Amino acid sequence: MAKVSAIRCAQYDDGKLDALMDGHFGHLGIGDGGLAVDGRRVFIKANLLKKSTPDEACVTHPRYVGALARALMSRGASVTVGDSPGGDFSASHLRRVYKGSGYEEVAAEFGFGLSYDTSVTTVGTGPTYKVTKAVLDSDLVVSAAKLKTHALMTYTGAVKNMFGAVPGLTKAQHHMKNRKAFASMLVDVCEAVRPHASFIDGIWGMEGNGPSGGTLRRMDVSVASLSPYAADAAAMALIGLGTGDVPYMAEAAARGLCPALGELEVMPEGFEAMVGAFGVRDYAMPETRMVSLRTVRGFLPERLRRLFGGGARTCPVVARDRCVGCGDCADICPASAVRVMGGAADIETRGCISCFCCHEVCPAKAIDIVPVGKLRKRAAKVGKDG
Ligand code: SF4
Ligand code: SF4
């Protein structure tokens, strides 16, 4: 059985968060038999996808991470927090993201370190991957994820959070893979980094077109486990997703890494009680996932996918009235399908591989996700009207 701790917490209030972490640590035996932390150097891998204020629910809330750091430090660990956000992997970009996301302030207040180490190393047997050295230069790695939907993978939590160990713009190149290969790579990276414990901040989650362009969803729950797969399986069950709905969880299950729901030992009151207390039936999924058949399509070879799924393909479209012309989408696009002209971005749909990296990094929420069929109708209408 894989132990999972699911605890109610309705606010990012320091006292409540301290009690929350004590609860999780007690359930999982962290600092007390389940996972020794005394005298150990811990790297907390937060989800810092991009500079984003905590109330936008795009990044793991800094006070949640602060409470986790405090709980570890009070048990004798030294703590460094970090991530490799989307874009340039440099100390100056890290500083901007830490500051703009509230981490700098919380780190100074609580006395934990922030990582500015931008050195890179290679991991993996068989396929190898470049990852940030800072994550591996520790005794223990802890995943501090955010409960969110994800346009490409449907859901992101503890396992997908480890993709942040891949440095900056290198991430976008991995999106050139097909969906199944990308999912497989996510599991490879998670296995290479192997977080010793995983926490999912679901107090406020993100639904709809996550992981950065969605809308806030209050869930009042925090989920933790020593297994990232068990933590994700439990969190996904709360928003109505099974392993077959999320390509990398399907891959993890196929490799025997992901426990079945019946194998989860959920504390304090069991799986059914957790779902009864926190489960929702109407968590909005990304527009990229309208019917479950789409997920199945992700595992079909490209030619068959086109045959069966062409009409359901979705694409990013720039809303020119919201675009501020920053060029972040063009910088990250692995297919070079974006150009910025006349102060706004333009996406060449034919060259686009629908990886949604542009959608993730856009600071202005100026990129919508639209079914290709609608796009064609829209273009035809413009042609007619124009
Ligand atoms: S334009 Fe297409 S290929 Fe480029 S980042 Fe956006 S979704 Fe990916
Ligand atoms: S679409 Fe977004 S990321 Fe791209 S240039 Fe406009 S504001 Fe910047």
Range 313-385 classified under CATH 3.30.70.890: no
pLDDT of residue 305: 46
DSSP per-residue codes, 162-208: GGGGS-TTHHHHHTTS-HHHHHHHHHHHHHHH--SEEEEEEEEEEES
Question: Are the beta carbons of 38 and 255 closer than 8 angstroms?
Answer: no
pLDDT of residue 384: 52
> Is pLDDT of 9 > 60?
yes
- Segment 74-99 shows an average pLDDT of 96
Question: Are the beta carbons of 212 and 366 closer than 8 angstroms?
Answer: no
Q: Which atom of ligand 2 is nearest to the CA of 328?
A: 3
- Segment 236-245 shows an average pLDDT of 97
DSSP per-residue codes, 286-347: PTT-SSHHHHHHTTS-HHHHHHHHGGG-EEEEE-TTT-----HHHHH-TT--EEEETTEEEE
Ligand closest to the CA atom of residue 372: 1
Q: Are strands 314-318 and 41-46 parallel, antiparallel or unpaired?
A: unpaired
pLDDT of residue 309: 42
Ligand 1 site, residue 157, Cβ cutoff 6 A = no
Tens of pLDDT along 314-370? 899 999 999 999 999 999 999 999 999 999 999 999 899 999 999 999 999 999 998
Identity (one letter) of the amino acid at 378? R
pLDDT of residue 313: 76
pLDDT of residue 298: 44
- Segment 206-213 shows an average pLDDT of 96
Q: Choose the residue to mutate in 353, 359, 362 for probing ligand 1, maximizing ligand atoms within 8 Å of C-beta.
A: 353
> Is pLDDT of 293 > 50?
no
CA of residue 169 to ligand 1 center, whole Å = 13
Q: How far apart are CA 268 and CA 236, in angstroms?
A: 18
Instruction: Report the percentage of the chain scoring pLDDT > 90.
Output: 82
Q: How far apart are CA 160 and CA 116, in angstroms?
A: 22
pLDDT of residue 380: 59
Q: Which atom of ligand 2 is nearest to the CA of 318?
A: 1
Question: Would you place residue 378 in the very low, low, confident or very high pLDDT band (cuts 50, 70, 90)?
Answer: low
Taking the model in full, what pTM does it have?
A: 0.90
Question: Are the beta carbons of 19 and 242 closer than 8 angstroms?
Answer: no
pLDDT of residue 87: 84
> Hey, what are 91's tokens?
């100390």
CA of residue 342 to ligand 2 center, whole Å = 12
Q: Which run of H or of E encompasses 217?
A: strand 215-225
Nearest to 101 by CA among 46, 142, 158, 145: 46
Q: How far apart are CA 187 and CA 272, in angstroms?
A: 28
Ligand 1 site, residue 338, Cβ cutoff 6 A = yes
pLDDT of residue 126: 83
Question: Would you place residue 2 in the very low, low, confident or very high pLDDT band (cuts 50, 70, 90)?
Answer: very high
pLDDT of residue 171: 87
Question: Would you place residue 264 in the very low, low, confident or very high pLDDT band (cuts 50, 70, 90)?
Answer: very high
Ligand 1 site, residue 77, Cβ cutoff 6 A = no
Q: How many CB atoms lie within 10 A of CB 63?
A: 22
- Span between the terminal Cα atoms of the chain, in Å: 63
pLDDT of residue 382: 52
- Segment 120-143 shows an average pLDDT of 93
Phi, psi of 87 (to 5 degrees): 100, -165
Q: How many CB atoms lie within 10 A of CB 344?
A: 16
> Hey, what are 74's tokens?
């009070």
Please state the domain extents for the chain.
2-278, 313-385
Question: Would you place residue 10 in the very low, low, confident or very high pLDDT band (cuts 50, 70, 90)?
Answer: very high
> Is pLDDT of 308 > 60?
no
Looking at 4.10.240, 3.40.50, 3.30.70, 1.10.1060, the CATH number of the domain 2-278 comes to 3.40.50
Tens of pLDDT along 149-165? 999 999 999 999 999 99
pLDDT of residue 241: 98
> Is pLDDT of 292 > 80?
no
Helix %, strand %, coil % of the chain (to 5): 40, 25, 35
Angstrom CA distances, 75 to 37, 99, 106, 137, stand at 7, 27, 19, 20
Helix (H, G, I), strand (E, B) or coil at 34: coil
Residue nearest to atom 3 of ligand 2 (CA): 362
CA of residue 329 to ligand 2 center, whole Å = 6
Ligand 2 site, residue 317, Cβ cutoff 6 A = no
Mean pLDDT of the chain: 91
Ligand 1 site, residue 151, Cβ cutoff 6 A = no
Q: How far apart are CA 36 and CA 294, in angstroms?
A: 43
Ligand 1 site, residue 236, Cβ cutoff 6 A = no
Residue nearest to atom 2 of ligand 2 (CA): 362
Instruction: Cis check for the bond before 268: say yes or no (omega within 30 of 0).
Output: yes
Tens of pLDDT along 354-363? 999 999 999 9
